[in-house]
Structure 1
């Protein structure tokens, strides 16, 4: 075998792996796994590493499948936007049939792995894939309510960890769901603001009333305030086995306050610069809050 053939094979393997990573959105999938692990750790006193491993792999497959189905459905609209035009399907580097095969394999494997933990975990995994693929994705080009619908599958990972640990969906899992549910509105509307012109090209409705105005920023502020209240509610011990100390509640409120501040500044200035700051603050919020919850749980 010539050195040129070896180099070509290496390049080909590298590009195939790169395409698979883009199809399944590895970065997003890993952030979802992070949420699931946080939810699991909040529910247990003793960590079962086998369950944690299965949850991580099953959760990763679940999100990877949703993203793959999404890109098959949006192949043509992806070609219209700078952010997505170089994905494997619009460029023709990957066939639709291969992408669909990958999506189906990940769906079956993901649900099977979650089922090996318990039936409720598999059910929520299946619901997440179904809602993302069959409701959120097609609704994006129909109504701004797509963000509301998409918030349901997006909020499942945090509480999925609790369900995987306990086999139960109670008030604790419900609150973990609500925290991530309300967080998604300011987060995705900030992205919708930044990508407004690109989304318009593809015919996507990603802002409230599909308008880049103060009506949208008022809703961002409103949902951020609800998110903060839901996030600190466990300090009142109304959330079953999931509760936080007053110190943690103050810390979470401060983190939420940073998001709220950027939401208010965006409302006043109406600029992409402020929308980017809000988007980054929202990513910081959900990551740090989940870590803080887990640290608090193991300290008290």
Structure 2
């Protein structure tokens, strides 16, 4: 009997895997937003850091995010093989074995944390380590396969980058990075559940208890609307607490109003046809732009206030 792609030997994976597969393990598209929010946290922080050290800090955030993504794919290789949108990743595609992915992820994790500590400070390194461990152990291994609320708690993993960027400059954590953390934390459920609505067949096939699979579309749409309301409060918190100025306040108000409009369109729908998921896809795509807009506004505002 022929062996499956996931059980193929190391020698085969070494011969077939190339640099593009290692890059794919780091989920570079997802990493873009992680790096940007980390960079904004660094640029918004008071004080000065040498450009080389600043670059190193952002590189460490990127490497840490890539390491967590690689470990996620190592652990979920069998699950990825059952889902259409992930079946061609390096492991389920048979181009790399799980041991190689594990070694790559662990090595990248240690390197990113140690480099961050030596280049900036050990608080930033510690928060980076916590973010990697949280994503791998709390979200990937514990929450994701067990509860439909996985993305609510697990969303904290993606909220750490602005805190790391800020700590790399200041060596401490103050109110603004915490507010930015909370913004990403409450942004994650409506962002991710919008995606889950139009790929729920994949999650069902893989046995992952995402909210649309276990609670249905109506409940998911209701939760998207509920968390959008909480996210709106978190989005306005920096200006209400006088942590940012009118530029951020204006951008946050307008961008959040548009987010709420798209979320309401998703909320009021009851269709379940995957071919008619326009509002869900629109909310998902806009939610990414939304975070870019708000974090960019934070940096501009902080620079003008300085």
Query: TM-score under structure 1 normalisation?
Result: 0.89
**Contact 1:158/1:180 (CA < 8 Å) preserved in 2?**
no
* Equivalent of 2:181 in 174, 177, 184: 177
Tell me the equivalent position of 1:228.
232
**Contact 1:262/1:278 (CA < 8 Å) preserved in 2?**
yes
In the aligned structure 2, how far is the partner of 1:111 from the partner of 1:191?
31
Tell me the equivalent position of 1:297.
302
Tell me the equivalent position of 1:163.
167
In the aligned structure 2, how far is the partner of 1:52 from the partner of 1:30?
17
Tell me the equivalent position of 2:287.
282
In the aligned structure 1, how far is the partner of 2:78 from the partner of 2:213?
24
Alignment of 1:78-97 (within 5 A): 78-97=80-99
Alignment pair present for 1:127 and 2:130: yes
Tell me the CA shift for residue 212 of structure 1.
Answer: 3.1
Tell me the CA shift for residue 78 of structure 1.
Answer: 0.6
Gapped runs of 5+ residues in structure 1? Answer: 1-11
**Contact 1:196/1:212 (CA < 8 Å) preserved in 2?**
no
CA 1:270–1:22: 2 relative to 1, 3 Å: farther
**Contact 2:57/2:116 (CA < 8 Å) preserved in 1?**
yes
Tell me the CA shift for residue 23 of structure 1.
Answer: 0.8
Tell me the CA shift for residue 114 of structure 1.
Answer: 1.6
Which aligned segments of 4 or more residues in structure 1 are displaced greater than 4 angstroms? 12-15
**Contact 2:247/2:301 (CA < 8 Å) preserved in 1?**
no
In the aligned structure 2, how far is the partner of 1:285 from the partner of 1:299?
21
Query: TM-score under structure 2 normalisation?
Result: 0.88
Tell me the equivalent position of 1:106.
108
CA 1:31–1:14: 2 relative to 1, 3 Å: farther
In the aligned structure 1, how far is the partner of 2:216 from the partner of 2:198?
10
Q: How many residues align?
A: 285
**Contact 1:162/1:173 (CA < 8 Å) preserved in 2?**
yes
Per-residue CA deviation, residues 119-142 of structure 1 (Å, 9 max, x unaligned), is 111111111111111121122121
CA 1:125–1:46: 2 relative to 1, 3 Å: closer
Gapped runs of 5+ residues in structure 2? Answer: 1-13, 272-276
